[in-house]
Amino acid sequence: MALTLMKGSEAIAEAAIRAGCRYFFGYPITPQTEIPEYMSERMPEIGGCFLQAESEVGAINMVYGAAGTGERVLTSSSSPGVSLKQEGISYIAGAQLPCVIMNVMRGGPGLGSIQAGQGDYFQATKGGGHGDYHLVVFAPASVQESIDIMSVAFDTADKYQCPVMVVADGMICQMMEPVVLPEMKEYKVDLEKKPWAANGHGFSKPAGRSIINSMYITTEALSEHNEKLQAIYREIEANEVRFEAYNMENAEIIVTAFGTVARIAKSAIDDLKEEGVNIGMIRPITLWPFPYKELHDAAMAPGVKAVLDVELNAGQMLEDVKLAINGDKPVDFFGHYGSQMPTPEEIKEKLLSMREVL
């Protein structure tokens, strides 16, 4: 297969296009500006639409509009910009529209830094906007996995008629790796499959909508709408959990980590294996739905003495890890904030120090 040397951000943009995305609305912000830049070059080539909005708020509302027609739509931003989009995301969730939102996380809070970060875990998984809603959240750990996840993200959004978020960070988007791209997929809106899509011709189907909004004025109607949403979320929780289990055989400690940090932890685990120490890893690929049961089962295996959660934040996924373990095993944490990437050596040292007292 033909390999191309791609930067993570270019690869994500091209993968979205190949998954059938023909509409991109965004606004520049480091470290993801290469995504809109690439889109501005590629979309006109293939008859798609690239539009640089006046702001992140504008961009997410353009996503709302375009997604309402049933097309595959992407927006991307980085942490502060994703905060700005939250109102629109809540509206999209309320209106039950499929779309993909990319968050290339950087250090926060506030303006923070332009280096890698993982501080938006809470925002992504617990609902950064208002109301009872969830986003399906994917967290790839390499350039190739980012490519592979883009088509899954669009398919998932369509299947459950909900917004999907992909979180990466400055490392994934700025590094260059040889990658394999999937074949180009031509996407045509099928109104049989998307009877809800507004097509500009009034109520074309019995179930069709000519107005797409998220307003349910009576308490009964709003309650019924929320019940419908919650039923979809339960279905997603039952069907869409993704995770990677690494080196689990005879593991003494299980590391939990996501995204680039998981890749760093993997280096530490490989080094320790050579030294005769077995450490396993559960890497959630979906941050929501979180692999609660799978992590608990793994931690209950005989021989597992503790769990170490590693993150590039003050311990956000840690809360879900603790919920999963539910007090059945000790859970420890190692992390840096302020975009200071943990090194394999530091993680090794932490694991070895834990091992001494277990």
Partner 1 sequence: MKEVIVLIGNYGSGKTELALNFAFQAANEGKKVELLDLDMVNTYFRLTDRGNLIKMKEIRLVSPNFVHSSVETLSLPAEVASAFALDWDTVIFDVGGDPAGATALGRYHEDFAALPEGSLKVLNVVNTRRPMAGTPDKLLSLMEGMERHSRQKVTGFINNTNLARMASADDLRDGYEIIAEASRRSGVPVLYTSGRPDLLAEFMAEERDPRFVGAPMPIETYMHRDWETFTREGL
Contact between 142 and partner 1 per CB under 8 A: yes
Q: Which is nearer to partner 1, 253 or 264 (CB)?
A: 264
Which residue, 29, 140, 142, is CA-closest to 76?
Answer: 29
Which range of residues in 2-10, 71-79, 132-140, 315-323 is near partner 1 by CB under 8 A?
2-10
Those residues whose C-beta lies under 8 Å from the C-beta of residue 236, and which sit 6 or more positions away, are 134, 136, 160, 162, 289
Q: Report the distance separating Cα 160 and Cα 150, nearest Å.
A: 16
What the block records as the tokens of 212 is 């797409």
Q: What is the DSSP string of 176-213?
A: EEEE-PPPP------TTT-TT---SSS--STT--SS--
Q: Check residue 31 for interaction with partner 1 (CB under 8 A).
A: yes
Which among 194, 311, 220 is positioned nearest to 259, based on CA atoms? 311
Measured between alpha carbons, how far is 121 from 210 in angstroms, rounded to an integer? 35
Give the nearer residue to partner 1 in terms of CB position, either 14 or 71: 14
Binding residues for partner 1 restricted to 114-133, rule: CB under 8 A: 114-116
- Under the binding rule (CB under 8 A), the answer on residue 170 touching partner 1 is yes
Judged by CB under 8 A, does residue 263 bind partner 1? Answer: yes
Q: Using the rule CB under 8 A, which residue among 161, 214, 226, 267 binds partner 1?
A: 267
Binding-site size for partner 1 (CB under 8 A) equals 29
Question: Considering the complex, what minimum distance in angstroms separates the CB of residue 143 from partner 1?
Answer: 9
Nearer CB in complex with partner 1: 69/267? 267
CA distance 308 to 302: 17
**Residues in region 176-235 near partner 1 by CB under 8 A:** 176-178
Q: Which range touches partner 1 (CB under 8 A), out of 132-140, 188-196, 219-227, 340-348? A: 340-348
Q: Which stretch binds partner 1 (CB under 8 A): 169-177, 217-225, 275-283, 292-300?
A: 169-177
Binders in 317-336 for partner 1, by CB under 8 A: none
* 109 binding partner 1? (CB under 8 A): no
| Cβ 176 to partner 1 shortest distance, Å | 4
Count of H-run helices and E-run strands, the chain: 13, 14
Residue in the structure block whose two tokens are 């209106």: 95
- Please report where in the chains the tokens 């890497």 appear, as a residue: 283
Residues 61-90 that bind partner 1 (CB under 8 A): none
Segments of the chain assigned E as strands: 4-7, 23-26, 49-52, 73-77, 99-105, 136-138, 163-169, 176-179, 243-246, 253-256, 279-284, 286-288, 306-311, 331-335
Q: Which residues in this chain contact partner 1 in the complex, by CB under 8 A? A: 3-7, 10, 14, 30-31, 34, 41, 113-116, 142, 170-171, 174-178, 263-264, 267, 341, 343-344
